[in-house]
Amino acid sequence: MDAILLIGHGSRLSEANNALKQVASMVKDLGNVPLVETAFLQFAKPDFFEAVSTCVSSGARKIIVHPYFLYKGRHFEEDLTEMVGKARKRYSDIEFILTEPLGVHENIAKVVLERSMKDIKPVKILKPHEIEEKSFEIITREMGKTDFRDIETPIVKRVIHATGDFDFAKNMRFHSDAVEVGIKAIKKGMDILVDVKMVEAGINKRLLQKWRGKVICKIQNTEHRLQTTDNPPIPPLNKGGMGGVTERGGEGEFETDTQTRAEQGIESAVKENNNIGIVAIGNAPTALYRTMKLIRDNGFNPELVVGVPVGFVKAVESKEVLLHMEYPFITSLGRKGGSTVAAAIVNALLKIAEGG
């Protein structure tokens, strides 16, 4: 039995590799060839020797190796020639034939004419805003129906757009007043306090400046940790009072004698600024705990708390605590979150405030 083995360069894009597989299927059908396999020189599987092994295992006695290249280059002259030589030694009872690449051929010229003259389908180059619009169309279609309110749905979509993760359509949670008060805070020109520089960098300053608000991040670029004995982070609260999930993620009372840099930054900003309307925590669970403590004990009163810290230690617990607060919040269940998510939520609020 004869086999044809099409060799492509290989790409990190699966669409490009799939194109060669589609050509192989056409060759098999058009030529009534019982076995047509594909292989790639790099970036994709199977490689040449894996494909040869498949052909041999399938009963091929002759393997016709066709390089799916436009011309003879280094890959043909050196790499492929060497690989075919090794295959001949490894499978001495199998006949190997290495063909010319596509090269210059009348049928290729006909394809060019067909694409250029007879069946013109111009490729549309999308502008940045068109790419975003197309992305949101796909997100809307794949999300399907959800239980979010109409005013909440754009925020969920923007988080999915920023992360590529549709799990957020299941795990995002909103206080009933969250979106409305967040928009109101933006339009009042209130500032947005964030825990880390990544959240600060991700927020659309151009939209925020329209309302004269600022993004504030006070985290220090130092590993210094402040000792404190009389100001422990907030113990978790349920609607019924103390108890439930603990900061340590287990049983017992929360204890600490240090503050993280993120906590220090939150506390410092709150002391210095009385115009904070939104707090957006995307990285540090301790910063979210500190925010909730300041609200509970120190009279801090932001309009909205966006709490989506990410990670395996304290992230889940801190968001569970926020979920039971009576003041407006936006959060996500579980370990997922991050600076990208926090910035996406704020940017969605800015877009809505702008009327988009």
The C-alpha angle 208, 342, 148, rounded to 5 degrees, equals: 100
**With 50 as the cut, is the pLDDT of residue 226 above it?**
no
Over residues 284-288, the mean pLDDT reads 95
- DSSP 3-state assignment of 33? coil
Q: What is the pLDDT of residues 147-194, one digit of tens each?
A: 999 999 999 999 999 999 999 999 999 999 999 999 999 999 999 999
Q: What is the pLDDT of residue 255?
A: 35
CATH class of 147-354: alpha beta
Residue listed under structure tokens 């199977």: 46
Q: What is the pLDDT of residue 120?
A: 65
Over residues 222-226, the mean pLDDT reads 42
CB atoms within 10 A of CB 83: 21
- As its CATH architecture, domain 2-118 has 3-Layer(aba) Sandwich (3.40)
Kindly report which listed range (128-142, 149-163, 265-279, 338-352) carries the lowest average pLDDT score.
Answer: 128-142
- DSSP 3-state assignment of 354? helix
105 is known as an active-site residue: no
Q: Is the peptide bond before 46 cis (omega within 30 degrees of 0)?
A: yes
Catalytic one among 105, 161, 224, 324? 161
Burial (0-12, 13-18, 19+ Cβ within 10 Å), 38:
buried
DSSP H or E segment with residue 132? helix 128-143
Q: What is the pLDDT of residues 15-38, one digit of tens each?
A: 889 999 999 999 999 988 899 999
Contact 286, 232 (CB under 8 A): no
Instruction: Please give the structure tokens belonging to residue 48.
Output: 């040449």
Residues paired with residue 239 on neighbouring β-strands, in sequence order: none
Over residues 9-19, the mean pLDDT reads 89
Task: Calculate the average pLDDT of the chain.
Answer: 86
CB atoms within 10 A of CB 22: 10
Over residues 50-72, the mean pLDDT reads 94
- Residue 347 phi, psi dihedral angles, 5° rounding: -65, -35
Separation between Cα atoms, residue 305 and residue 189, nearest integer Å: 16
User: Is the whole model's pTM more than 0.85, yes or no?
Assistant: no
pLDDT band at 270; cut points 50, 70, 90:
very high
pLDDT band at 127; cut points 50, 70, 90:
confident
Kindly report which listed range (72-76, 112-116, 210-214) carries the lowest average pLDDT score.
Answer: 112-116
Q: What is the pLDDT of residue 247?
A: 36
Q: What is the pLDDT of residue 185?
A: 97
Decide whether 2-118 matches 147-354 in CATH topology: yes
Domain boundaries along the sequence of the chain: 2-118, 147-354
Q: What is the pLDDT of residue 87?
A: 96
Say how many Å lie between the first and final Cα of the chain, rounded: 63
